[in-house]
Amino acid sequence: MIEFINFSGKTILVTGATSGIGYEICMQIANFNGNIIAVGRNQEKLNDLANKMTKRIHFKGVLYDLENLDKLENLIEIIKIPIDGIVHAAGIVQLQPIKFLDMNLLNKIRTINYDSIVLIISKLLKKKLINKNASIIFISSIAGEVGMKGNFIYSSTKASLNSSAKVFASELSGQNIRVNCIAPGQVETTLTESVAKQVSAEAIIVDRKKYPLGYGKPEDIAHLALFLLSDKSSWITGTTITIDGGRSNILN
């Protein structure tokens, strides 16, 4: 039997690897024999990931906070080897109405959600550390396309990822490097839980009812990421794929 996806001999860089979607993507890449460079802020969870990896793959856990842009060169030095895929799953969200704009919060969310990965990709390209035929994925959000009260900072960073993916896809097409976004709706993660703490329980109940297929799970996003990382999606680039259980397109 021929495997539909096999990442043997390939190395994938995953940011936000210690929670939710990023963690699940690492687990799934390992299931299909891919080598992983996992970047996260929680050493305990990096250790947990390492312990769950099989011996047939190479796993490198990197403790790093993407808010520290001044030390990105150190991260690039740790990566060292050419990579075949990137998944930017790191992200934070905090609701804040525009009239109460806090520049420190804006800078923090933008730095982690957007600035960090743009700079990482730029530095990797300069050092020729992204292989031809590589696949780059930004974990975006339906928030990048629709408006939600108090969510303008997060939404803006996700919209920036969506537009940047189109430009990067154009610039890198000569090397057959593909760049796409995955835009999930609400997924059951610690990030979702953090938002839930900022609104009422009633608001969450109302929001859940807007999802015909309910809230998603990390593996729902990971399965799509695997497809986009693989050569089975070799003719897909510069696009944003919505995966939200029907939230955006079905009246419920």
Q: Which helix (H) or strand (E) holds 183?
A: strand 178-184
CA angle in degrees (0–180, nearest 5) for 98-92-37: 150
Q: Which amino acid is at 239?
A: T
For residues 60 and 36, the answer to whether their CB atoms sit within 8 Å is: yes
d(CA 147, CA 219): 26
DSSP 187: B
Residues 64, 154, 211, 215: which is the catalytic one? 154
Q: What angle do CA 216, 221, 88 make, to 5 degrees?
A: 130
Structure tokens at 162: 């969506």
Q: What are 112's two structure tokens?
A: 């982690």
Q: Is 175 helix (H, G, I), strand (E, B) or coil?
A: helix
Encode 49-63: b = buried (16+ Cβ within 10 Å), e = exposed.
Answer: beeebeeebebbbbe
Amino acid, res. 212: P
CA distance 153 to 222: 25
**Contact at 8 Å (CB) between 228 and 180?**
yes
Cβ partners under 8 Å of residue 102, min gap 6: 96
* Residue 35 in tokens: 């080598």
Question: Is residue 154 annotated as part of the catalytic site, yes or no?
Answer: yes
Kindly list the catalytic residues: 154
